[in-house]
């Protein structure tokens, strides 16, 4: 893809795209974020740092927290690119007013990530069922979004 095409797909919500372009664009965003997610799976255990039993400075803890800053930036950047890409597709299938739905999947994904991070820290007041409920909502929203944007024909509301 050339720079102008990337700019059109990800930097603005203006325009229209077909379902194949949306699938390719969303797939490219998944490929961008996948390595970061895998690295985070490896580094996340190092963020549990107890000063009562660990020294004040643990190098891997510092690396993990430095990485989470980078990872957070990448997540937000990919979410913005996804919203712009999806808004074009919603407009193409004929949903002119609710292009705000383009942000639904990233919003639920961010809420899911927040509940997954928070629940172990406050398990006595937030049961795991909350996380499962948000997981179910995320799966539903992803399934609906993939169907609507990736497989529905243009102009068919």
94, 75, 105, 109: which is closest to 19 by C-alpha?
94
What is the chain's pLDDT, residue by residue, as a tens digit (157 residues)?
677 888 888 888 888 899 999 999 999 999 999 999 999 999 988 887 777 787 788 888 889 999 999 999 999 999 999 999 999 998 888 876 667 889 999 999 999 999 998 998 898 999 999 999 999 999 999 999 999 999 987 765 5
Domain ranges of the chain: 3-150
Say if residues 93 and 149 touch (Cβ distance below 8 Å).
yes
Query: What CA–CA distance (Å, rounded) separates 156 from 127?
Result: 42
Longest dimension (CA), the chain: 61
32, 119, 108: which is closest to 71 by C-alpha?
32
Q: Where are the beta strands (DSSP E) in the chain?
A: none
30, 132, 45: which is closest to 75 by C-alpha?
30
* b/e code 58-78 from CB counts within 10 Å (16+ = b): eeebeebeebeeebeeebeeb
């Amino acid at each position: 893809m050339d720079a102008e095409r990337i700019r059109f797909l990800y930097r603005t919500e203006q325009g229209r795209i077909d379902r194949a372009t949306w699938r390719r664009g969303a797939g490219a965003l998944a490929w961008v974020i996948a390595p970061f997610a895998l690295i985070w799976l490896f580094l996340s255990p190092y963020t549990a740092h107890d000063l009562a039993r660990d020294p004040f400075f643990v190098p891997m803890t510092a690396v993990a927290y430095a990485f989470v800053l980078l990872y957070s930036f990448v997540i937000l950047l990919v979410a913005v690119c996804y919203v712009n890409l999806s808004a074009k597709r919603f407009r193409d299938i004929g949903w002119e007013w609710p292009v705000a739905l383009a942000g639904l999947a990233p919003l639920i994904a961010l809420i899911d990530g927040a509940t997954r991070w928070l629940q172990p820290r406050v398990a006595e007041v937030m049961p795991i069922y909350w996380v499962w409920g948000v997981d179910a909502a995320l799966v539903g929203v992803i399934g609906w979004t993939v169907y609507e944007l990736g497989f529905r024909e243009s102009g068919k509301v």
